[in-house]
Amino acid sequence: MEKMSRVTTALSSNTISGRTMFCHLDAPANAISVCRDATQVVVAGRNIFKIYGLEEEQFVEKLNLRVGRKPSLNFSCADVMWHQMEENLLATAATNGAVVTWNLGKPSRNKQDQLFTEHKRTVNKVCFHPTEVYMLLSGSQDGFMKCFDLRKKESVSTFSGQSESVRDVQFSMKDYFTFAASFENGNVQLWDIRRPDRYERMFTAHTGPVFCCDWHPDDRGWLATGGRDKMVKVWDMTTNRAKEIYCVQTIASVARVKWRPERKFHLATCSMMVDHNIYVWDIRRPFIPFATFEEHKDVTTGIVWRHQHDPHFLLSGSKDSTLYQHMFKDATRPVDKANPEGLCFGLLGDLAFAAKESLISSDANRKPYPGGDRRYPIFFFKKPDPTEQFAHVSSALSVFETDLDSNRMDWFVKTAQLYLLSGKPFAELCDHNAKVAQELKRPQVSTTWTMLRIMFSDPANLTTPGPNHNLSKLGTLPLMNSFSMKEMGSGMGTESRLERSKGDSRQDNIHLEPGNSHISNNNEENEETEGSDGQAEYMFGDAELDDDDLYSVEHDNQTEEQEYALPQEAFQLRHEIMDNPSAPEHLQQDKADSPHVSGNEAEVTCLTPIESFSLISISQPLYSPHLPASFFCPIVREMLSYYAEQGDVQMAVSVLIVLGDRIRKEIDDLTQEHWYMSYIDLLQRFELWNVSNEVIKLSTCSAITCLNQTSTTLHINCSNCKRPMSNKGWICDRCHQCASVCAVCHHVVKGLFVWCQGCSHGGHLEHMMNWLKSSAHCPAGCGHLCEYT
Amino acid sequence: MFVARSIAADHKDLIHDVSYDFHGRRMATCSSDQSVKVWDKSENGEWHCTASWKTHSGSVWRVTWAHPEFGQVLASCSFDRTAAVWEEIVGESNDKQRGLSHWIKRTTLVDSRTSVTDVKFAPKHMGLMLTTCSADGVVRIYEAPDVMNLSQWSLQHEISCKLSCSCISWNPSSSRAHPPMFAVGSDDSNVTYGGKVQIYEYNENTRKYGKAETLMTVTDAVHDIAFAPNLGRSFHVLAIATKDVRIFKLVPMRKESTSTGPTKFEVQTVAQFDNHNSQVWRVSWNITSTLLASSGDDGCVRLWKANYMDNWKCTGILKGDGSPLTGSSGQPTAMSTVVGSSVQTSQNALNGMSAGRYFFPPLDPPRAGTRYGHLLPPSSLIEHCDAEPIQPQPQALPHRLSSRSLLPLPEAEGQ
């Protein structure tokens, strides 16, 4: 069957003639019908009844059947049908209940032939028998179907469907005596024309009215029905019970359905309202129209294939008063515009990808065998028309996951969690963060932190810095530099452990530091390299190894001036006591002075302490005058913008917070706010609520800090009497019980209290978690299935 | 390294869209079979379908998640000319025990008279807003005035774009310096119309959206469009899927405070790749906007990444079914010529000039080493854009190659 039709297609494809064209009608059309040889089409409507000739380039009006001065309701057609055997014979169904036949062979202007006025209400449908010349069937709103013999004046039989109005009647193509009728209550009935007393078979096809039905032109058992429930269903009538074999869901109620000639699985539909398009469906792929004709501007009322063996032309009439001939190759194909792929990046860098299976299957790239099917000689092989292929397709969904070790967004989460943003002196924060970055293998970020520390650790805005003092401070720069780099490069493990173990106590030490250094300075002037030991005693045994080293070294290098500097330091460094000398690192780089390059290299090459000492002696005299920290601000600002623009807003915000006032004024508030917002949004995506809160808290933008001040009201119910607690505190007004008793251990909860919003019972977070591991019910015994999210 | 995990989606027709939720733990798929499925990731990383329901009476083109602040909310749009908003209902413990959840329709937006081709929630800071675009070229912006009531949406704006719209993307920037802005792509195939991507911006004074820019260089049908996550940038980056992959940079020009017109943008074409050799259907940014994924009719996902010079390069190809890629589809293209420009460092000299031919040039000296760790083709799944398979060069980079696990792509490292 398929093969046969393909051959016909091949043949007829050579003879396709005509084009998509239309003509204006005088009035909206209700129905159209085409004569057997596809040369003429009749258009019928409430105010129109005309015959048009179908020519190559245009429609030509042939005949107007509305004649006579008196407008007759008989002309007001709900349906029209051209006889497929007798080319002069037409029948119309009038809205006043009349069934009229027309004989085009009549010599007079009025072609009206017979008039049957037996129906009480509008006749919805007329249908000629496909082979019998004189047999006409009608279906009416009054619920009756009548069969007429055109040689007689009256109907020969009346069929009572007894299921409300008849919407459509269709003779079977193959079974001589059978016709189908569809009803407004959703039923479809099968009748034998010889037995008007009772239907052969009835089944409920749709919910709501069945507006149309159509027998398959080739397959005797298939009946397509369309209804207000927006469905088209195909029924196999050969079995005892009508079996639904295909179902097409359309987007609007289905007014007409017509099988496409020569295409076993195709049918065309149009809608009764809302939707003006004509769809051609492949019932095997019922979700997406195979083709769409979108020309009409109003509801399409009639569709008919131009020729019963030509699948390429479809005629349609519409309420927009146009008659169209659609050429199939001009149809839009929704599936061409339909996206065959979906792609989305997940939060953690995994990638979800759905694609049409044929696109991704490995043999998609394989060239089809040139000869095609071997059963046929190569010259007989006709490739099926690709535009007519519309087989069932499906998509494959897969997720590309980054494997756990190298989970690509881990660095973000870890960094967010490990960074310290406050609570320690600036230099330590920088060091810590540099180490975090280093451990996560982000050397550039790490270096940035280190450089920040160097740039800003000096209380650079000293108002009256003595020249010598400055010199000495600056002199330590390369040392610091090399030291910290060394620490990061090699001694990471021990140092970080130390750092952590010191924890809070470290802060205390820091406060003592100026004094310490003062003392150490005075007392241990002659110490060369072991300054840290001496210091350690003063620092209550804390084995501080890194920064204190520097201090001691620094003091060693200059002994006399220290006393001038100290008082100033003591007052000025209230906040950042641990601050270290500022380092004109960038200045060096910018100027590219040769002596200073050594300091730069120190970063990379990890000088040993001894080397760095020697470095000091070289570079010390060469230091330029003191540079305030503000000198670096433009550079830092640029750097922050750079990070932000590279997608690392984390770095921008972290530096912003750590630097605090040092940089804040340099960056306009909008930008800061933008960074904060972006970072907080990211943190919340990763559900890093604590970090996000910390950032909000530490931010200096008013717009950000107020984020924490919204939705801070809690409404609580007493866990005993279930009534809202009005008073302050945890004693209920009404039952005078303490509401915050843990339902598990029955003690008053202090600290974190978690409770179910459904039954108000709760308790210690830990207890509740343990309880819910074993039971879904409330520990208080109230029987509630508690929900904690 | 990417591991392909195939999921039996069991959709009865094409899947048109996949969408992760805000936290990356849930996924929604939509299909021509008129259904939407929601997938949840279990502890062990498996994806389970927890809901599947019929959403529309036509192909469902797109599905998208709302910010979780508004609840578990999905929006879908369809060929049936409607968009719908869905909310997950908590409760029904027996449902939950079976690992299923229940979604109910909160509203249907029926204003369009043609297929609704895309639906997107506006960035969270604008409130609960939903945008649709349709084949008749109309963009509609709805707002739920009460975020607790998802069944009431009022049509706030109706913007006619003249051309049939296929995709829409909001500029995610939350900065107050950036007025709300979205880009619309058109799949109109008539190249003579030109300018298939239009950018609209909200004007505070007129309280309307006005066209700020048309990307005149995009003349072919646009299938997808995506603003990169902004993350504190001052400019905007836009990826476009048309017959090739394109990346545009929109730099807002400094405008005088007195002017009331739309922001003027300096539009730069940052990259343009035709490696797919076919229509490109989708583009998607990773969360830090350092990586762009695109998929085309060749059935491959290609990953793009920029170096610090803003040179974009292909950093990996993923084949949809995990099978090895045939050489023909991975040929190098013109863009590989930029490789040489950034290679000037001492590190590179160390690696020898041969390194320049490979796909990851040493982008910056301190990090080149770590990048080379990624050079190995980690599995048959991933191939590099270079035509010749990349061979490890033990003599040049022995310690580096062994030092790290074989990510196809390094994380952003602040670059």
Report domain extents, chain A. Answer: 339-362+392-408, 410-457+629-712, 714-788
Instruction: Indicate whether B6 belongs to any domain.
Output: no
Contacts of B290 in chain A (CB under 8 A): 646-647
- Secondary structure letter of residue A417 according to DSSP: H
Q: Which two tokens stand for residue A180?
A: 């189908």
pLDDT band, residue B76 (cuts 50/70/90):
very high
For residue A91, the cross-strand partners are A81, A101
pLDDT band, residue B315 (cuts 50/70/90):
confident
Contact in structure between B318 and B303 (CB atoms under 8 Å): yes
Average pLDDT, chain A: 73
Q: Find which of B7, B270, B413 to mutate to test the A interface (most A CBs within 10 Å of its CB).
A: B413
Using one digit for the tens of pLDDT, what is the confidence trace for A584-597?
A: 444 434 333 334 33
Mean pLDDT of A247-253: 89
Average pLDDT, chain B: 76
Q: Find which of A273, A287, A419, A433 to mutate to test the B interface (most B CBs within 10 Å of its CB).
A: A287
Contacts of B81 in chain A (CB under 8 A): 251
Contact in structure between A649 and A619 (CB atoms under 8 Å): no
The Cβ of residue A36 has, within 10 Å, a number of other Cβ atoms equal to 14
Which of 324-353 (B) contact A at CB < 8 A?
326, 328-329
Report the C-alpha gap between A460 and A577 in whole angstroms: 13
pLDDT band, residue A386 (cuts 50/70/90):
low
Contacts of A392 in chain B (CB under 8 A): 13
DSSP string for B278-315: S-EEEEEE-TTSSEEEEEETTSEEEEEEE-TT--EEEE
Instruction: Indicate whether B103 belongs to any domain.
Output: no
Mean pLDDT of A239-244: 85
Q: How far is CA A322 from the centre of its chain?
A: 40
Q: Using the beta-carbon criterion (under 8 Å), do A394 and B81 form an inter-chain contact?
A: no
pLDDT at B174: 83
| Among B217, B394, B406, residue whose Cα is nearest residue B315 | B406
Model confidence at A627: pLDDT above 90: no
Which tops the pLDDT comparison, A491 or A782? Answer: A782
pLDDT at B337: 30
pLDDT band, residue A65 (cuts 50/70/90):
confident
DSSP string for B311-355: -EEEEEEEETTSPPPPGGGG---GGGGGGGGG--SHHHHHH-GGG
Report the C-alpha gap between A293 and A333 in whole angstroms: 9
pLDDT band, residue B170 (cuts 50/70/90):
very high
pLDDT band, residue A123 (cuts 50/70/90):
very high
Instruction: Determine the residue of chain B that is closest to A676 in CA distance.
Output: B232
Which of 384-413 (B) contact A at CB < 8 A?
404-407, 409, 411-413
Q: Which of A351, A442, A645 sits opposite B413 (nearest CB)?
A: A442
Instruction: Determine the residue of chain B that is closest to A415 in CA distance.
Output: B413
Contacts of A362 in chain B (CB under 8 A): 319, 321, 323
Model confidence at B12: pLDDT above 80: yes
Contacts of B364 in chain A (CB under 8 A): 444
| CA of B11 vs chain A CAs: smallest distance (Å) | 7
Instruction: Indicate whether B85 belongs to any domain.
Output: no
* Lowest mean pLDDT across A641-655, B144-158, B248-262, B384-398: B384-398
Interface size A-B, in CB pairs within 8 Å, comes to 302
Mean pLDDT of B251-280: 80
| Among A400, A407, A408, A404, residue whose Cα is nearest residue A353 | A400
Contact in structure between B34 and A249 (CB atoms under 8 Å): yes
Contacts of B291 in chain A (CB under 8 A): 345, 349
* Lowest mean pLDDT across A9-18, A316-325, B112-121: A9-18
Instruction: Determine the residue of chain B that is closest to A603 in CA distance.
Output: B366
The answer to whether residue B231 neighbours chain A at the CB level (below 8 Å) is yes
The Cβ of residue A665 has, within 10 Å, a number of other Cβ atoms equal to 10
Q: Find which of A450, A641, A646 to mutate to test the B interface (most B CBs within 10 Å of its CB).
A: A646
ipTM: 0.77
Contacts of B29 in chain A (CB under 8 A): 342, 354, 397
Q: Which two tokens stand for residue A278?
A: 């004509």
Q: Which of A343, A401, A647 sits opposite B412 (nearest CB)?
A: A647
Torsion, CA A733, CA A734, CA A735, CA A736, rounded to 10: 20
| CA of B165 vs chain A CAs: smallest distance (Å) | 11
Continuous H helices in A419-466: 426-439, 443-456
pLDDT at A620: 40
Instruction: Indicate whether B68 belongs to any domain.
Output: no
Contacts of B72 in chain A (CB under 8 A): none
Model confidence at A89: pLDDT above 80: yes
Q: Which of A355, A445, A674 sits opposite B299 (nearest CB)?
A: A355
Using one digit for the tens of pLDDT, what is the confidence trace for A178-199?
A: 999 999 999 999 999 998 888 9
Q: Using the beta-carbon criterion (under 8 Å), do B326 and A646 form an inter-chain contact?
A: no
Distances (CA, A) of A133 to A36, A82, A116, A129, A148: 13, 11, 17, 7, 11
Mean pLDDT of A7-24: 62
Q: Which of A341, A648, A776 sits opposite B281 (nearest CB)?
A: A341
Which tops the pLDDT comparison, B234 or B321? Answer: B234
Contacts of B301 in chain A (CB under 8 A): 343, 351, 353, 400
Q: Using the beta-carbon criterion (under 8 Å), do B13 and A350 form an inter-chain contact?
A: no
Report the C-alpha gap between A279 and A173 in whole angstroms: 23
Range among A228-237, A486-495, A747-756 rated most confident: A228-237
Which residues contact residue A257 at a Cβ distance below 8 angstroms, ignoring those fewer than 6 apart?
A212, A213, A214, A224, A225, A226, A232, A267, A268, A269
H or E segment and range at residue A770:
helix A765-774
Which tops the pLDDT comparison, B389 or A766? Answer: A766
| CA of A385 vs chain B CAs: smallest distance (Å) | 21
| CA of B395 vs chain A CAs: smallest distance (Å) | 23
* Lowest mean pLDDT across A749-763, B96-110, B367-381: B367-381
Contacts of A352 in chain B (CB under 8 A): 18, 20, 27
| CA of A101 vs chain B CAs: smallest distance (Å) | 40
The answer to whether residue B108 neighbours chain A at the CB level (below 8 Å) is no
Which residues contact residue A50 at a Cβ distance below 8 angstroms, ignoring those fewer than 6 apart?
A25, A26, A42, A43, A61, A62, A63, A64, A65, A66
H or E segment and range at residue A188:
strand A187-192
Q: Using the beta-carbon criterion (under 8 Å), do B320 and A652 form an inter-chain contact?
A: no
The Cβ of residue A723 has, within 10 Å, a number of other Cβ atoms equal to 13
Contact in structure between A207 and A186 (CB atoms under 8 Å): yes
For residue B7, the cross-strand partners are A397
C-alpha dihedral sign at A239, A241, A243, A249: positive
Using one digit for the tens of pLDDT, what is the confidence trace for B223-260?
A: 999 999 888 888 899 999 999 999 999 998 876 555 56
The answer to whether residue B15 neighbours chain A at the CB level (below 8 Å) is yes
Q: Which of B287, B295, B405 sits opposite A355 (nearest CB)?
A: B295
Instruction: Determine the residue of chain A that is closest to B15 in CA distance.
Output: A395
Q: Using the beta-carbon criterion (under 8 Å), do A444 and B413 form an inter-chain contact?
A: yes
- The length of chain A is 789
Q: Using the beta-carbon criterion (under 8 Å), do A402 and B1 form an inter-chain contact?
A: yes
pLDDT at B246: 92
Mean pLDDT of A737-766: 78
Question: Using alpha carbons only, what angle is made at residue A261 by residues A256 and A262, rounded to the nearest 5 degrees?
Answer: 150
Q: Residue B318 maps to which CATH number?
A: 2.130.10.10
pLDDT at B346: 34
Which CATH fold topology does A714-788 show? Herpes Virus-1 (3.30.40)
Contacts of A400 in chain B (CB under 8 A): 2-5, 301, 318
Buried b (16+ CB within 10 A) or exposed e, B323-358: eebeeebbebeebbeebeebbebebbeebeeebeeb
pLDDT band, residue B153 (cuts 50/70/90):
very high
Using one digit for the tens of pLDDT, what is the confidence trace for B324-377?
A: 443 333 333 333 333 333 333 333 333 333 332 333 333 333 333 333 333 333
Instruction: Indicate whether B251 belongs to any domain.
Output: yes
Model confidence at B283: pLDDT above 90: yes
| CA of B70 vs chain A CAs: smallest distance (Å) | 14
Using one digit for the tens of pLDDT, what is the confidence trace for A96-106?
A: 889 999 998 88
pLDDT at A614: 42
Contacts of B57 in chain A (CB under 8 A): 230, 249-251
The Cβ of residue A667 has, within 10 Å, a number of other Cβ atoms equal to 18
Which tops the pLDDT comparison, B90 or B74? Answer: B74
pLDDT band, residue A554 (cuts 50/70/90):
very low
Model confidence at B147: pLDDT above 80: yes
* Lowest mean pLDDT across A39-43, B308-312, B319-323: B319-323
Contacts of B318 in chain A (CB under 8 A): 351, 353, 400
Contacts of A207 in chain B (CB under 8 A): none
Which residues contact residue A368 at a Cβ distance below 8 angstroms, ignoring those fewer than 6 apart?
none
Report the C-alpha gap between A505 and A421 in whole angstroms: 18
Question: Using alpha carbons only, what angle is made at residue A416 by residues B126 and B308, rounded to the nearest 5 degrees?
Answer: 80
- Percentage of chain B beyond pLDDT 70 is 73
Distances (CA, A) of B282 to B18, B37, B240: 10, 20, 8
Which tops the pLDDT comparison, B165 or A525? Answer: B165
pLDDT band, residue A786 (cuts 50/70/90):
confident
Q: Which of B93, B301, B320 sits opposite A396 (nearest CB)?
A: B320
Q: Using the beta-carbon criterion (under 8 Å), do A397 and B29 form an inter-chain contact?
A: yes
Q: Could you tell me where the beta strands, DSSP code E, fall in A19-98?
A: 21-24, 31-34, 40-44, 49-54, 59-64, 77-82, 89-94
For residue B197, the cross-strand partners are B185, B215
- For B315, the domain range is 161-323
pLDDT band, residue A256 (cuts 50/70/90):
very high
